[in-house]
Amino acid sequence: MTTAAVRPPLERPRLAVLGGVCAGLAAHLLWPVRTVRILFGALVLLSGAGILLYVWLWALTPLERPVDAPAPVSRRVPVAAVLVTAAATAVFVELGAALSSREPVTVAAVAAAIVFSGGSVAWSLVFDAADPTRSIRYGVFVRTAATFLLLFAGLVGLLSRSTAASAVLSMLAIILAVAVLGAPRLVTLWTSLLAERAARVRQDQRAEIAAHLHDSVLQTLALIQTRAGSASEVARIARAQERELRDWLFADDVPSETDVAAELREIAAAIELDYSVRIDVVTTGVAVPTVSAALVGAAREAMLNAARHAGGDVAVYVESTAARIDVFIRDRGPGVDLATLPDDRLGIRESIVGRMTRAGGTATVRAGEGGGTEVHLGLERTDD
């Protein structure tokens, strides 16, 4: 007993000659592609039924699903160039008909020139714009040729002994030629308008969600931290969830470029997951897009020391100007005295003071006012 072949789903391939209808239908029916194409060609002779069937299947048949990343749609037939060629043929027929005073042929030729030229421009803007095999120069050539053919067709129709129908079509061709000149700009403006409108809708929805969550979830998480105490496991989890939720809600308000403050906030969030500590990072001044590895590394070591030996609340203050960056890390622990530290305790001497000295900056560690330790890191800015 032979098992029946499994039919693949009816899908149009992304790499096709024209629309991929024949290839997709042949794969679904397990027929040769040539047979399907011959069948469509035969149906075209039946009052254009093959064309209607092809367009119908093209509109309703989905594209094949890519395996990993979305793949672009490519067509081997330069449809826009073919339509421009057909429009040029119609214009030459119109010119010959006008010279021989054959009015019906002139009207039909002008109409064909309008249809083919307009179709080439529409295809170039809609389909070829997303086709990686079609260059920008190709699209400019198609639109320029279509504009010239429309103008020529319109002028020939107006200068010939035209009837009312020919004059109307000739004026329509000239109007379309002017419209084609501004079509790319209009498409760009329309796309930008749609994108702006979608962004505004997303922003309004995000603001509404943020307001609701701020009145409920965020206040609840803050209350949990206050009641549980900064050193408890519950407060640590609530703090991490609050930070993650705020980052999601206000992601658009955070600068896209990585700066010192953004890196210190990421470090603080990671430390809070490992230690029972609450780290608040406050920034002032201008943004610092160029991150100093030495400054960030020294600040991370100071924040880790505060989390390990002090706990509780740790304040990180970043002050940046056009010429200098200063970072202050303050905790409320028992304090530290560098003079009394053993020689084998190299965490502060090397990871903080030594690292900043090698980078050309300064690092001071002293007892804070009212107890605790204050670490001051300073570095001159050398941004290009």
Calpha distance 191→40 (Å, rounded): 36
The neighbour count for residue 212, using CB atoms within 10 Å, is 11
In this prediction, residue 35 carries a pLDDT of 92
Structure token digits, residue 91: 């214009």
Under DSSP, is residue 155 helix (H, G, I), strand (E, B) or coil?
Answer: helix
Helices (H), the chain: 21-29, 33-44, 49-60, 79-99, 103-126, 136-159, 164-213, 219-228, 233-249, 260-274, 293-309, 347-348, 355-358
User: Which positions ≥6 away from 98 have C-beta within 8 Å?
Assistant: 106, 156, 157, 159, 160
Provide the residue ranges of all domains of the chain, joining segments of one domain with +.
15-64+71-196, 258-380
pLDDT, averaged per 10 consecutive residues of the chain (384 residues), comes to 69 85 89 91 86 89 73 81 92 86 83 90 83 84 90 85 78 85 75 84 74 66 64 66 66 55 83 80 74 82 85 85 87 73 67 86 81 87 64
Residue-level pLDDT at 257: 47
Fold annotation for 258-380 = Heat Shock Protein 90 (3.30.565)
